[in-house]
Structure 1
Amino acid sequence: MSSRFRVAVDVGNSSIKIAYHPPGMTADASDLRVVRVSLTGADWQAQLADLTSAFPQSDNTVQWLLASVNSVGCDRLSAWIETHRAADRVRVIDRSDVGIETDVRMPQRVGIDRLLAAQSAFRLAGDRSAIVIDAGTTVTVDLVASPGVFRGGAILPGLGLQFRALHEATDKLPRLEPPDDLASLESPGRDTQAAMELGVASGIVGAIDRLVESFQSTCDVSQIFLTGGDAGRLSPAIRSPHRVVVDMPLRGLYGIELADSSSL
Structure 2
Amino acid sequence: MNVAVDSGNTYSKIGWFDEDKLISYQTRLIWPDLIREIQNNLPDQIIYSSVNKPAEEFREALGLAIPVLDLSADIPVPIKKEYKTPQTLGADRVAAAAGANWLFPEKDLVVIDMGTCITYDLVDRTGAFQGGLITPGVKMRFAALHSFTKRLPLFEPVAVPDFIGKSTKEAIESGVMNGVLAEMEGIIERYRHISPSLRVVVCGGDIPFFESSLKPAIFVVPELVLIGLNRILRYNVALQ
TM-score for the superposition, normalised by structure 1: 0.82
1:27 and 1:92, CA in 2 relative to 1: closer, same or farther beyond 3 A? closer
In the alignment, is the contact (CA less than 8 A) between 2:22 and 2:227 conserved in 1? Answer: no
Offset at residue 139 of structure 1 (A): 0.6
Offset at residue 121 of structure 1 (A): 1.5
Residues of 2 paired with 1:193 and 1:73: CA distance?
Answer: 39
> Of residues 165, 171, 175 in structure 2, which corresponds to 1:199?
175
Structure 1 position 162 matched with structure 2 position 141: yes
The alignment's C-alpha RMSD in Å is 2.2
Structure 1 residue identity aligned to 2:120: V
1:145-196 deviations in Å (ceiling 9; x for gaps): 11111111111111111111111222111111101x21xx123101111000
In the alignment, is the contact (CA less than 8 A) between 2:79 and 2:98 conserved in 1? Answer: yes
> Of residues 232, 235, 238 in structure 2, which corresponds to 1:258?
235
1:221 and 1:32, CA in 2 relative to 1: closer, same or farther beyond 3 A? farther
**Structure 2 residue aligned with 1:173:** 152
Structure 1 position 11 matched with structure 2 position 7: yes
Specify the SS of the correspondent of 1:240: coil
Residues of 2 paired with 1:90 and 1:174: CA distance?
Answer: 44
In the alignment, is the contact (CA less than 8 A) between 1:11 and 1:67 conserved in 2? Answer: yes
Residues of 2 paired with 1:94 and 1:8: CA distance?
Answer: 14
Structure 1 residue identity aligned to 2:180: I
1:240 and 1:166, CA in 2 relative to 1: closer, same or farther beyond 3 A? same
In the alignment, is the contact (CA less than 8 A) between 1:125 and 1:222 conserved in 2? Answer: no
Specify the SS of the correspondent of 1:19: strand
> Of residues 34, 49, 52 in structure 2, which corresponds to 1:48?
34
In the alignment, is the contact (CA less than 8 A) between 1:121 and 1:132 conserved in 2? Answer: yes
Offset at residue 69 of structure 1 (A): 2.6
Specify the SS of the correspondent of 2:194: coil
* Higher deviation after alignment, 249-258 or 169-178: 249-258
Structure 1 residue identity aligned to 2:176: V
Residues of 1 paired with 2:39 and 2:225: CA distance?
Answer: 25
**Structure 2 residue aligned with 1:91:** 69
1:262 and 1:148, CA in 2 relative to 1: closer, same or farther beyond 3 A? closer
Residues of 1 paired with 2:69 and 2:118: CA distance?
Answer: 27
Specify the SS of the correspondent of 1:156: strand
> Of residues 41, 60, 66 in structure 2, which corresponds to 1:79?
60
Between the aligned residues of both structures, percent identity stands at 30
Residues of 1 paired with 2:142 and 2:57: CA distance?
Answer: 29
In the alignment, is the contact (CA less than 8 A) between 1:6 and 1:20 conserved in 2? Answer: yes
**Structure 2 residue aligned with 1:33:** 25
Specify the SS of the correspondent of 1:187: coil
What are the ranges of 5 or more consecutive residues in structure 1 without an aligned counterpart?
39-43
1:20 and 1:160, CA in 2 relative to 1: closer, same or farther beyond 3 A? same
1:103 and 1:16, CA in 2 relative to 1: closer, same or farther beyond 3 A? same
Residues of 1 paired with 2:44 and 2:222: CA distance?
Answer: 24
Aligned residues: 238
Structure 1 residue identity aligned to 2:58: L
Residues of 2 paired with 1:239 and 1:194: CA distance?
Answer: 23
Offset at residue 15 of structure 1 (A): 1.7
1:77-132 deviations in Å (ceiling 9; x for gaps): 23312xx32x2222202344222112222222111111111122122223211111
Residues of 2 paired with 1:208 and 1:112: CA distance?
Answer: 22
Offset at residue 55 of structure 1 (A): 2.1
> Of residues 228, 249, 253 in structure 1, which corresponds to 2:225?
249
